[in-house]
Amino acid sequence: MLQSRLKTRRLPRRLPNNQKCSKRRIANAGLRVRLGRDIAMKHILLVATGGTIASTEAGRGLSPALTGEELARAVPEIAALCDIEIMQPMNIDSTNMLPVNWLRIRDIIVERYDAFDGFVILHGTDTMAYTAAALSYLIQQSPKPIVITGSQRPMGSSFTDAKLNLYQSLRFATDARSHDVTIVFGGIAIAGTRARKQRTMSSNAFTSVNYPPLAIIRNDRVIRTDCAEMMSAQFSSTVHAALDYARAERASVKDLRPEDLAAAGPIAQSSRKRSGKAGALGIEQPRAPHTYEGLDERVFVLKLTPGLKPSIFETLRPSYDAVILETFGLGGIPSHEERSRSFQHAIFDWVDSGRTIVITTQVPEEGLDLGVYEISRPYAEHPGILRGDDMTTEALVAKTMWALGQSHDPDVVRTLFYLPVNHDRLVIA
């Protein structure tokens, strides 16, 4: 049985003092009604967290002020689409979004999972990709949609994109084939682990990195890219079935052995098929998501720049358990030395001390390959170094926090890190 070498740091579940949680339902003409009239309509929970979509100008720049109810009332077309309830756990600029807020959003969804057909989260755009990735790892293989959206312009401004984004997100959430964590923004649906904010002002703010968009929303229709959905669903269903089997054999994911996934294989897959139900593509879908609570926020993103010294790792050592190293090109790391110490020495020492390092690239598209150039070959050959491959930095941050939140044993972290979740990687170790 594997034992953690380092104690997992759990985040507090208490929110900062200025972030209060409230729950309200839309009221109209003194009656308790939800936004929607047909009891057969899908029941969606709208979780408002602030962001540009909720912002107003108060004389010192935009800041979140509108409530979830006010945002919903600004789009009356919702009434013909679905039946919603609203919760407002926070009303913040997403620049201030913290891992503890991710856990709060996670709790809201998990605690109410059986009561709703889907979930839509209103969020600021600046850290939306991080939140989408984090929720992808905290709530895995959700058969119900968890949609995140926002806007580049406030709801009350001229030519706002907020109304269409909110409507299309709810439209996507009510579609029978929607599932898992997804960003819906600017008419496209992006897997929660593949999104990146590409533009600071344009309405098509987000792009899907190294993976096709899951769908486009046009004229009230959700148009799917079935090939991508089929490929990921088949693979992730098998892997998660194996993880289910391993969990059943071992009391906790912390006791998971790297060989468990391979050993569980066909037994777990047949077990999943018996307990699940067929989805729209004929693929067995789970009845409930895999949920997790732990996150270790002691993760640092280090971007290599010309002239950076290897001693930076000594500076980071007291405060961080993991470093995500954004390298040059396909994975280039300088070979020069500083007082007889090179990056190779510093990185190998970091890993050999039981800490985690993930090597990725600064280049947004196409990923890395440590085997191409001589200068990066030593890192490809070291068994303790994790490769980001074609994953986004946002997903790497969230996945590393999640993996370390389950265990600090390097073998368990490695197993969880290479577990494909919500389309997050194409290259499998």
Please report, in range form, the residues annotated as the binding site for substrate: 94, 125-126
Catalytic residue among 52, 149, 238, 393: 52
Is residue 127 annotated as part of the catalytic site, yes or no? no
Catalytic residue among 49, 67, 125, 315: 125
Contact 77, 165 (CB under 8 A): no
The residue type of 112 is R
What b/e string do you get for 380-407 counting C-beta neighbours within 10 Å, with b at 16 or more?
A: beeebbbbbbbbbbbbbbbbbbbbbbbb
Q: Which two tokens stand for residue 55?
A: 């912002």
Q: Are strands 145-149 and 299-303 parallel, antiparallel or unpaired?
A: unpaired
Cα–Cα distance for residue pair 137/119, rounded to 1 Å:
16
Cα–Cα distance for residue pair 88/71, rounded to 1 Å:
12
Q: How many CB atoms lie within 10 A of CB 37?
A: 10
Is residue 52 annotated as part of the catalytic site, yes or no? yes
Q: How many CB atoms lie within 10 A of CB 220?
A: 10
Contact 101, 156 (CB under 8 A): no
Instruction: Report DSSP state, residue 176.
Output: T
CA–centroid distance for 31 within its chain: 38
Q: Are strands 31-32 and 27-28 parallel, antiparallel or unpaired?
A: antiparallel
The residue type of 302 is L
Distances (CA, A) of 332 to 301, 369, 383, 386, 400: 16, 9, 18, 15, 21
User: 256: helix, coil or strand?
Assistant: coil
Which residues are known catalytic residues? 52, 125
